[in-house]
Amino acid sequence: MRHFLVMMLFAALASVVFGAVAKDTTSERWQYGLKVFAEFMIIGLVLGWILYFIP
Amino acid sequence: MIKSEKISMSAVEHPPTSAWLIAIAAWFVPGLGHLLLKRFGRAILLGGSVWLSFVVGLAMGGHMFSLATGQGSSQLLQVPPMIANLGSGVLYLFCLLFGAGFSDDPQQAARATYEYGTTFLLIAGLFNYLTVLDAFDIAAGRKS
């Protein structure tokens, strides 16, 4: 559980920074930040499950 | 070429001195660059992310890099992560001065959160480089 929370914190921090830096309008920043957060979480979970089955 | 194009091109090619000073301030104290530009929201979001990432990384027992942490040829391998750590500015320099986060302690390395902490410390510096570039662009008039 701790690993998941750390991954969530990392994804949240990265999405805040990327969202604030990358886009011009507030709505675009929100969209981009949420997209980056979702990508981090989904890719992290997928990689976690792939590695789970690799001895 | 009309006069306004000349002016805008020279502004792009030669950013004002204040933009460089803002960038240095933004590097030295994460968030300060945006504070000086009166971009309080960005200062809290970007500077806060850097500070939080750094503090969390340190609390997890993460390790920072300097030229003194490697031995022999492995010293060169310390340079890229050291550059990332250096991005944290005064936070890195403060820890370097007081030796916090630089010790090669096996007990510290055995902690479950050691690698996470090291990654957070690296990321804090890299976040701050993005913050510096953002503050510089705003100060130079390249970004609103």
Please tell me the distance from the alpha carbon of residue B125 to that of residue B123, in angstroms, as a whole number. 5
The chain B residues in contact with chain A (CB within 8 A) are: 42, 45-46, 49, 52-53, 56, 112-113, 116, 119-120, 123, 127, 130-131, 133-134, 144
Residue A53 lies in a domain: no
- Please check the confidence at residue B7 and state whether its pLDDT lies above 60: no
Domain limits for position A22: 2-46
> Are A6 and B116 contacting, i.e. CB atoms less than 8 angstroms apart?
yes
Number of H helices, E strands in chain A: 2, 0
Residue A41 lies in a domain: yes
Q: In terms of CA atoms, which chain A residue is nearest residue B127?
A: A17
> Are B120 and B128 contacting, i.e. CB atoms less than 8 angstroms apart?
no
pTM confidence score: 0.86
Residue A25 lies in a domain: yes
Residue A51 lies in a domain: no
Convert the pLDDT of each residue in A2-15 to its tens digit: 889 999 999 999 99
Across the interface, do A13 and B134 touch by the CB < 8 Å criterion? no
Cβ-proximal residues to B27 (8 Å cutoff; 6+ apart), any chain: B33, B87, B89, B128, B129, B132
- Please check the confidence at residue B104 and state whether its pLDDT lies above 90: no
Residue A54 lies in a domain: no
Q: SS3 helix, strand, coil % of chain A, rounded to 5?
A: 90, 0, 10
Across the interface, do A21 and B131 touch by the CB < 8 Å criterion? yes
Cβ neighbours around A40 below 10 Å, total:
19
Q: Which residue has the higher pLDDT, A30 or B67?
A: A30
ipTM here: 0.86
Backbone φ, ψ for residue A11 (5° rounding): -60, -40
Alpha-carbon distance A32 to nearest alpha carbon in chain B (angstroms): 15
Residue A52 lies in a domain: no
Q: Which residue has the higher pLDDT, B132 or A2?
A: B132
Residue A10 lies in a domain: yes
Backbone φ, ψ for residue A30 (5° rounding): -60, -50
- Please check the confidence at residue B124 and state whether its pLDDT lies above 80: yes
Q: How far apart are the first and last CA of chain B?
A: 25
Domain count, chain A: 1
- Please check the confidence at residue B102 and state whether its pLDDT lies above 90: no
Residue A34 lies in a domain: yes
Please tell me the distance from the alpha carbon of residue A22 to that of residue A9, in angstroms, as a whole number. 20
